[in-house]
Amino acid sequence: MNLVRRLTPEWIAYIESIMGGERQGFIKAMGDRIYTNELTSHLLFPGSTVSINIMTAVLNYIASAANRHHGGDVKSPKVVAIPHKWYDAYVVDKYLNGDDAARKILDGHFNVRPDNFDKIFCIIVPILRKPDHWTLGVIYPQARGFAHLNSEWPLDPDENISQLRYILQVIKGADYDAQEWGLLPWFYYSPRQACEGDSGVCAIANAECAVLGVNPRESWDPIDVRDHKRLMVGALLLCRDYSKLVRMGDV
């Protein structure tokens, strides 16, 4: 099943008319402004990369739509997107140096706590492996497993798993047992990106699959990347609701 809805010419023209307008508006993502010219430069130009702000915004919208799909709500989420900025600011800079602020932010902002952790379907974590390459980490609490989806495969599937383990340590605290957790063998690989600079879009496509529990290799194709970029623009600027753009109701 292909998760990407084919865009009508009218839909494409509408998005591109907004993107090409003289007036530069903005949206907010985690408190940061994303200007429409940033969307243009990072999404619509061939080979362009997805910025941290755009990755945060799109994964938030995906998680919000998937949360409703799985019957969760804000206080008791079923799907959670943890931004790259949180990991850098609170795990790398604080938690690994003995500061407990990371756990407080998870509880207060994302509503992820030890008492509701096992009820969460999945947690999606964008990983910036180098200045311009995105991958996706996924934690499945109920399966006691995680996955790392990288569109530049073949690579070692254990790569970047340490980041997911640190997040589990933050959430579980002293109750975290590394022996209970392992890679999910059925979720190792992403479809391979066709063009340099497409890793961010591929990570987002993999996130769409992860929140629905479907196999990425059976659900999207690298040739769909251009439509994925337009879908992201539409989700951010128009309806801001991925459930209207991605086939969540069909799964």
DSSP 203-237: HHHHHHHHHHT--GGGT--GGGHHHHHHHHHHHHH
Q: Is residue 3 domain-resident?
A: no
CATH code, 165: 3.40.395.10
**Higher pLDDT pick, 237 / 125:** 125
Q: Is residue 90 domain-resident?
A: yes
Cβ neighbours of 210 (radius 10 Å): 27
Residue 144 predicted with pLDDT over 90: yes
How does pLDDT run across 89-123, given as a tens digit for each residue? 777 767 777 777 888 888 888 899 888 999 999 99
| Nearest by Cα to 57 from 221, 234, 194, 246 | 234
Q: Is residue 1 domain-resident?
A: no
Lowest mean pLDDT among 43-52, 167-176, 199-208: 43-52
Q: Is residue 229 domain-resident?
A: yes
Greatest mean pLDDT range, 22-26, 152-156, 167-171, 227-231: 167-171
Q: Is residue 2 domain-resident?
A: no
Number of domains in the chain: 1
Query: Of all residues in the chain, what percent carry a pLDDT higher than 70?
Result: 68
* Domain region containing 229: 9-250
Amino acid identity at 119: K
Structure tokens at 177: 């047992």
Residue 15 predicted with pLDDT over 60: yes
Predicted structure pTM score: 0.82
Q: Work out the mean pLDDT of the chain and round it to a whole number.
A: 76
Query: Of all residues in the chain, what percent carry a pLDDT higher than 90?
Result: 15
